[in-house]
Amino acid sequence: MDVSGSLEKCIRVIVFINCNDDKKVKHLYLKNAKLLRPDLLNIKVAIDGPAGAGKSTVAKKLAEKLNFTYIDTGAMYRALTYKTIIEDIDINNKDKIVELASKIDIKLEGDRVLLDGVDITNEIRTPIVSERVSLISKISEVREIMVNLQKQLANDGSVIMDGRDIATVVMPNAQFKFFLTASAEVRAMRRYNELVEKKISVNYDDILRDIKKRDKIDTERDIAPLKKSDDSIVIDTSDMTIEEVVCKMYDIIASI
């Protein structure tokens, strides 16, 4: 059969199998056409990296391109952090924070993050949340609760999940593992531009300081520290556009 010149994501061949049940067929998806059926592939993509490396933006766009489910684990920790702020829970009150984590109702619906049914998508990206989230996420009991939830979510079909310990803890058996990085200065400028665009008053130097502080906390914590897994593909995004990063990762995944 000649299929030269056909659209690579629009070809499906039905092959009748020579067996007792003459109604049984086998579907063969040619080239990238198989990406049209993520439910059949059950592919797991883990994306790790420090704050501001572009993980969430890249993961979201890549998931749309591949038609995979996107799970923003960072948003889950941010939602919990935001909850501690609005309930005025002391950052050192570990027992209260763990209790809150065990009861919190977080839902991820596309781009939106819902806390107890309320959309808090913008609220969790404020500087005060960014400043506190690493302190809360390093609590071992909190991480255990969140990781268990993330593992449950990862079982549902083809997923892309980003965070700081996805390839090492949450999805160690993921078929594709990426580690995105960039200089602290580039990451701080990205966060600064993101917040300014949302009309949030911020100072670049303060953000750079917070980025470096968070890097230190994330890499030195005892429980699931930020580190690259041995089999992760490292991508330095410092001089790359979001589209370039997405295309690079897509090409790697589509080569299966």
Output the known binding site: 49-57
* 62: enclosing H helix or E strand: helix 55-66
Alpha carbons 212 and 184: distance in angstroms, whole number: 7
Amino acid code (one letter) for 55: K
Alpha carbons 76 and 146: distance in angstroms, whole number: 8
Helices (H), 107-203: 127-137, 140-154, 184-197
Extract the annotated binding site for ATP: 49-57
- Cβ-Cβ contacts under 8 Å for 198 (sequence gap 6 or more): 122, 125
Chain center to CA of 207:
22
Q: 70, 250, 73, 74: which is closest to 156 by C-alpha?
A: 70
